[in-house]
Chain A
Amino acid sequence: MARQTRSEEMTAAKVEIVIVEDNPNDAELILRVFRKHNLANQVILLRDGAEALDFFFPPDGAARATAAVRIILLDLKLPKVDGIEVLRRLKSQEQTRGIPVVVLTSSTEQRDLQDAYDLGVNSYVAKPIKFDEFAKAVADLGLYWLMLNKLPAR
């Protein structure tokens, strides 16, 4: 894995981790935990559902930059387009269906859980309220999807 210091400098084609999160504190915590575990080399942070859709379904036929994505961490309560809608789009298209999506949200409402699973989410993780538990959850989550889970060669 090539070292890369700042996610914003990444060439999009190599993005491995996509974080869709509008809360800057949560986003910062996730990035920090990934960096600490050397998982953050190829991260892109998207701040609302519209940015997420633009990334995965580029407008005006721009090149798709998702070939290396191994995991999408998706918040549900997002500005512009909500997370459930982003999930629906990702899982309804053959090209994006195989990319693992983990919903990472503060919502534990059964309605959200059910919608997410019905639409084919790979995993649903509720954000722990306490800071250190949140950090532990993010670390476990990152290690699982980046180290243990296997994807097809693309």
Chain B
Amino acid sequence: MNEEKVDVVIVEDDPNDAELIMRVFRKHNMVNKIVLLKDGAEALDFFFGSRANDHPKVVLLDLKLPKVNGIEVLQRLKADERMRNIPVVVLTSSAENQDIKDAYQYGVNSYVTKPIRFEEFANAVAELRLYWLLLNRPSEAPGSVNAARRSE
């Protein structure tokens, strides 16, 4: 229970991509705690299990994941009143229109495609990091249980 609060959650099964993302996030000497989850089932366990009270500043979510795919994870997070206000950025190699449309309809905060070239990928992650850790202001508390009712 004395675990440090998690700031960044990365859901990524590709070890090379995960390594690159982690490296860029750590590069700037910030003290953010990062958690890497390797498939959709681990992500659901994290959010709906032991760490349900964590409120990370951003979740970077791949779409093509083993066990439970990223769209399903997104859907579950955004359908949950306590989780829906956590910013979720889909970071994927898929530029398929249907994936992009689905992600927005389920309430993704942002959708970014992985550039193919290493350097451009690193730049994109650096921009993501700057935006979601420094510019965006997260809600400090979990979502309100009255959210659904209020939005009607």
Distance in angstroms between the alpha carbons of A88 and B81 in the assembled complex: 16
Distance in angstroms between the alpha carbons of A8 and B144 in the assembled complex: 40
Residues of A within 8 A of B127 (CB): 143-144, 148
Q: Is the CB of B147 within 8 A of A151?
A: no
Residues of A within 8 A of B138 (CB): 113, 117, 124
Residue A4 lies at the interface, judged by CB distance under 8 Å to chain B: no
Residues of B within 8 A of A137 (CB): 135
Q: Which of A122, A126, A150 has the most CB of B within 10 A?
A: A150
A117/B85 contact (C-beta < 8 A), A125-B137, A150-B100 known: yes
Q: Which residue of B lies closest to A119 (CB)?
A: B151
Q: Is the CB of B147 within 8 A of A152?
A: no
Q: Which residue of A lies closest to B136 (CB)?
A: A123
- In this complex, how many residues of chain B approach chain A with their Cβ under 8 Å: the count is 33
Residue A153 lies at the interface, judged by CB distance under 8 Å to chain B: yes
Q: Is the CB of A117 within 8 A of B110?
A: no
Q: Which residue of B lies closest to A103 (CB)?
A: B137
In the complex, which residues 103-152 of chain B have their Cβ closer than 8 Å to any Cβ of chain A? 104-105, 107, 109-113, 124, 127-128, 130-131, 135-141, 143-144, 147, 150-151
Residue B87 lies at the interface, judged by CB distance under 8 Å to chain A: yes
Residue A114 lies at the interface, judged by CB distance under 8 Å to chain B: yes
Distance in angstroms between the alpha carbons of A17 and B72 in the assembled complex: 30
Q: Is the CB of A97 within 8 A of B128?
A: no
Q: CB within 8 A of A91: which of B95, B112, B151?
A: B151
Q: CB within 8 A of B151: which of A88, A98, A100, A114?
A: A88
Q: Is the CB of A140 within 8 A of B131?
A: yes
- In this complex, how many residues of chain A approach chain B with their Cβ under 8 Å: the count is 34
Q: Is the CB of B137 within 8 A of A97?
A: no
Distance in angstroms between the alpha carbons of A98 and B147 in the assembled complex: 19
Q: Which of B84, B130, B136 has the most CB of A within 10 A?
A: B136
Q: Is the CB of A150 within 8 A of B139?
A: no
Distance in angstroms between the alpha carbons of A116 and B140 in the assembled complex: 12
Residues of B within 8 A of A25 (CB): none
Residues of A within 8 A of B151 (CB): 88, 91-92, 118-120
Q: CB within 8 A of B143: which of A108, A117, A145, A153?
A: A117
Q: Is the CB of A149 within 8 A of B141?
A: no
Lowest 8 A-B CB distances belong to which pairs?
A117-B85, A98-B104, A118-B147, A152-B100, A113-B139, A152-B101, A117-B139, A122-B109
Give the B-binding residues of A (Cβ under 8 A). Answer: 88, 91-92, 94, 97-98, 100, 108, 110, 113-120, 122-126, 137, 140-141, 143-145, 148-153
- What are 7 A-B pairs at a CB distance below 8 A? A98-B101, A118-B81, A123-B135, A148-B112, A152-B97, A152-B104, A153-B97
Give the A-binding residues of B (Cβ under 8 A). Answer: 81, 84-85, 87, 95, 97, 100-101, 104-105, 107, 109-113, 124, 127-128, 130-131, 135-141, 143-144, 147, 150-151
